[in-house]
Structure 1
Amino acid sequence: MKYLRNLSITQRISVTLIGTLLTVAIASGLLTLTNFLQWDLSGYVMDGRIDSTIVAAVSRTSGGRLVLKSTAELEALKREAPGLWFIVRDQSGDQVSMGQVSAPCASIVATLPRLFSGDVTDISEHDNLSCKFKTMRTHLGEAQIVYGGGPLMPIWKGAGIAVLQYLEAPFFLPLLLVNIVAIPVVVALALRRLKDVVQLARYVDINRQGLRLPEEGLPREIAPLVRAFNAALERLDAGRAQQDRFIANAAHELRTPVAIIRARLDALESGPLKVKLEQDVERLGELTDALLDLQALKSTIPRMEPLNLVALVSETLADLAPVVLAAGHDVEFVCGTERLEVSGDAASLKRVIVNLVQNAIKHGGDAITLTVTVRTEAAHVLMEFADTGPGIPPAWRDQMFESFSRYTRHGSGAGLGLSIVREIAVMHGGRATYFEPPTHGTGIRVSLPRIEAGKDFSIQNVNV
């Protein structure tokens, strides 16, 4: 049982069915054996190897006469059974013999041409087979053979060999071999739809709302589990939608008190307390705006169209350059081509550039250099933002794109800038990741699917 726990469904079913078939084969063989023996295991029968040994020792002369030759197998048989005798007769009546025919079988030898096959047992020794005769096709043609006095074996053993030769080997063994190959294939075909479900389940993510696993074509035993999983996904989507509505409403409600506080701060006299309060209100305002931006991304349908990403990045950086320089930093743009097309929403992609530049200004430290690179890699266009600041601690890099994630509690910002970047990247069929820049600092890479220039562009909503 412990072994079965480590097997796949296909392997478990295959092992069980093949084991069942093997059990049936063994039980059928035992049942046939007991039927042959009629539950009587006493007595002996002639060893079955005598037939082939005798026939192999007989050949024909150039004149066509039967002749007996000495073979190693025959000599070994004679040593094992000194009383062995036999007669081999062909259709023409020519025959060869060896040894003295036993008395119970003398009459059988006299009528051999009229007999086909059978066994003879002396009534005085009813447990022992006296002789055996049969008609068989050999290299001599059709021939008759009768023999006795050979080595004996217990009846149960001889019947067991017969069951293996005439039942198990020609019937159950081929069936078992065929099923060893066929059963795993049949089971795998029956569960092939389940593999599609497993593959699709890998894409289940809290940010992929509306994703459902396919229920069509599944086995009846698996379908209820998939339906229950889809029901759980529906409840998660409903909870996520309720949470998003709450955050959006809260952000809207915050705007009014923030505006009132700003107005009242303007009426206060200048001083350290006023400066501190203005900083706090500014941070609260940034949080409110970021929350509204994040919810707007999730609730609006982007206007996707072919865009020259090189031009979009260049123009946006030119607009941001005064802000970067005023903060005491430098920015440079690196690109080896004038045109790289992607399918995207211009306003959303511009927000990505603005957020990443602002993120570098806020967290990069003093007098950093921000290098923005646009390049291609396989079927994607990459935007890379690398600064020369203090960098991101390794322990925080896996969660840096989560909402409200900041590796220092006292830092500025709401912790939503990188989350918005990730949302926009996913919306465009791409991704946002951290990378280690050549120099010490922070590197953020945004990859977007590339489209070939001049090709027709159409948008399709695809649920992954």
Structure 2
Amino acid sequence: MTIQKIIRLLGRFFRPISLKWRLVWRLVVLQVILLTLMIFILLGGLTIAGVIPDNYEGRAIDVIRNTITKDGSGNLMLKQGPLLAELRKEVPNLWFIAKDEHGHELSEGTVPPEFKHITEALDYIGDARFVAEPGGSRTTATVQWAEDTAAGKVQIFTGAQGEFHIMALVSVTPELFLEIILPVGGVMAVATLLVIPLVVRSAFRGLRQAAVLAERIDIDERGVRLPVERIPSEIAPLVRAVNGALDRLDKGYERHKRFLIDAAHELRTPVAILNTRITSLPPTPERARLLQDTARLSTLTDQLLDIQRLGRQAQQFTRFDLVAVARGVVVDLAPMAFAAGYEMSFEPARGELFANGDRTAVERAITNLVQNAIEHGGNAGRITIAVNSPATIEVSDEGDGVPAAEREKIFEPFYRLRPRGHGAGLGLNLVHEIMQIHGGRIELAGSDRKGACFRLVFAQA
């Protein structure tokens, strides 16, 4: 077995237990402990009060039964030993009367006055128990016939009363556990396992709703706050702290957004002035390069403004025709494509194909993809714009395509396949943002085909 497998097995064995089951198991253990303590306290209190007498009478009868015998003359006697010594130690005022069927009698101690009259009628009494309450105190006595003694059938009359001792309860612990604690504790444990998870689940319902809302939080879904109303009071401070952090992040994002918009606006005027001044210069190779640079700056500012203007305002979306929008982009950019050495092909699967969204933003997304094809298509071959069902637009070229190592990076802002290219690295990122706002996506077709093929997939209208 490898080390990795051992680590996985240990991880499964020691994986964290959920808060719900931690509460359940701790409550089960606590209930069993409390039940046990309550039973011992109740029995101890009743024994001290005399309601439940210590079973010294039964023990005295057992000891006498096991130690009584006859001497050579047939008289009754007790065999001295540890059992009798322990009984006399625990019951200092031990008294009893033992009689056999032949009239032999053995006695020890003094019979309490309340039971004196019973001694005269022992010949007419079978097994019996007597209770007396002289002066409010409660005393008991027992008459029992023992048939399996060394002295034969013997009648034992005793009222052994000892002081309460904790060992009296400890001695009956196994019986208490099997007959009372285990059944009652089992029922309580089963009830706890069934009821407590439901209670905990109900208590955590607000927390689960907060988790669902937390999954919606991202850079483009601002203003979401976690509810505090149904959150447990112990967790509410954490939820409030998270909401406070979200407030600060939203404010910081708005400041950042305003800065970029203001910066882009401020750049447009000097770029336009610079472009005008360069245009007025005599036509030279340097002038052409400067015009390309100013065009790049102008495109960059426009793209920054487009990105910052985007917002998830679904209520502003309208129904528009994707075929008409794509056809307009083809008409506008065909001269630029022809001048760069390409052929243009427009392939709509239907005459009309509708989607919901921002028509201007979608037009901008298609334009960026066509411009990207013109830039990276190798200045040869055909650029194809296809509109397919359901609500899909594909822009493909016959250039070198996108290397496999770059496919995951091309949608990042300011990332360029050609570091010295004319673009600013915002075009594909802008398209990605537009498709996210429309609930769709942009895909790059597989690398098994020649050139690059970008697919815009819209949500169906």
- Range into which the TM-score falls when normalised by the shorter chain: 0.5 to 0.7
Correspondences of 1:30-429 after superposition (within 5 Å): 111=126, 159-298=172-311, 303-376=316-389, 381-429=391-439
Q: Per the alignment, in what secondary structure is the counterpart of residue 310 of structure 2?
A: helix
Structure whose CA Rg is larger: 2
Q: Counterpart amino acid of 2:25?
A: V
* Structure having greater relative contact order (Cα 8 Å, sep ≥ 6): 1
Aligned-partner residue type, residue 357 of structure 1: V
- 1:417-457: CA deviations, max 9, x gaps? 12222222232233334442551443433332212xxxxxx
For the Cα contact (< 8 Å) 1:309–1:340, is it kept in 2? yes
Partner residue in 1 for 2:22? 12
Distance 2:331 2:124 in 1: 117
Aligned residues: 358
Q: 1:338 to 1:158 in 2, by over 3 A?
A: farther
> Per-residue deviation at 1:333?
4.3
Deviation at 1:10, TM superposition (A): 2.3
Q: 1:304 to 1:113 in 2, by over 3 A?
A: same
TM-score (norm 1): 0.65
Q: 1:333 to 1:189 in 2, by over 3 A?
A: farther
| Deviation readout 1:350-398 (Å, 9 max, x if unpaired) | 1111111111211233324444444446xxx333334333333444434
- The alignment partner of 1:449 has SS state of coil
Is 1:335–1:373's contact at 8 Å kept on the other side of the alignment? yes
TM-score of the superposition, structure 2-length normalised? 0.65
CA distance in 1, matches of 2:389, 2:264: 38
- Sort the Cα spacing of 1:299 and 1:175 in 2 relative to 1 into closer, same or farther, 3 A: closer
Change over 3 Å in CA distance of 1:304–1:401 after alignment to 2: same
Tell me which moved more, 391-400 or 357-366: 391-400
Q: 1:300 to 1:172 in 2, by over 3 A?
A: closer
Structure-2 change in CA distance of 1:114 and 1:209 (3 Å)? closer
Q: 1:236 Cα deviation (Å)?
A: 1.4
Judged with a 3 Å threshold, the aligned counterparts in structure 2 of structure 1 residues 301 and 261 are, in CA distance, closer, same or farther, namely farther
Which residue is 2:84 aligned to? none
Shift of 1:122: 9.3
SS at match of 2:458: strand
Answer yes or no: is the 8 Å Cα contact 2:127–2:143 preserved in 1.
no
SS in 2 for 1:358: helix
Q: Does 1:446 align with 2:436?
A: no
Q: Deviations over 1:288-317 (max 9, x none)?
A: 221222233349888422223234334433
2:344 & 2:26 partners in 1: Cα distance? 67
Q: Distance between the aligned counterparts of 2:299 and 2:357, measured in 1?
A: 26
- Match of 2:126, as an amino acid? T
Change (3 A) 1:228 1:155: closer
Q: Distance in 2 between matches of 1:364 and 1:267?
A: 32
Deviation of 1:287 after TM superposition, in Å, equals 0.9
- What amino acid is aligned across from residue 361 of structure 2 in structure 1? S
5+ residue gaps in structure 2?
A: 1-10, 49-53, 60-104, 107-121, 131-140, 147-152, 155-166
**Identical columns (%):** 35
Q: CA deviation at 1:179?
A: 0.6
Distance 2:386 2:143 in 1: 100
Give the aligned residue type for 1:409: P
Q: Which residue of 2 aligns with 1:64?
A: none
Asked if structure 1 preserves the Cα contact closer than 8 Å seen for 2:279 and 2:291, the reply is no
What letter is aligned with 1:111?
A: G
The answer (yes or no) to whether the contact 2:57–2:142 under 8 Å persists in 1 is no
Do the aligned partners of residues 432 and 212 (structure 1) sit closer, same or farther apart at CA in structure 2, a change above 3 Å counting?
farther
C-alpha distance 157-246 of structure 1, shift in aligned 2 (>3 A): closer
Task: Tell me how far apart the structure 2 counterparts of residues 395 and 19 of structure 1 sit (CA, whole Å).
Answer: 57
CA distance in 2, matches of 1:404, 1:264: 28
**In angstroms, what is the RMSD of aligned CA positions?**
4.1
Q: Is the CA contact 1:364–1:387 (under 8 Å) kept in the aligned structure 2? A: yes
TM superposition shift of 1:340: 3.4
CA contact under 8 A between 1:33 and 1:159: conserved in structure 2?
Answer: no
Aligned in 2, Cα 1:8/1:384: closer, same or farther, shift over 3 Å? farther
Q: Secondary structure at the match of 1:405?
A: coil
In structure 1, runs of 5+ residues without a counterpart are 46-102, 124-129, 132-153, 452-464
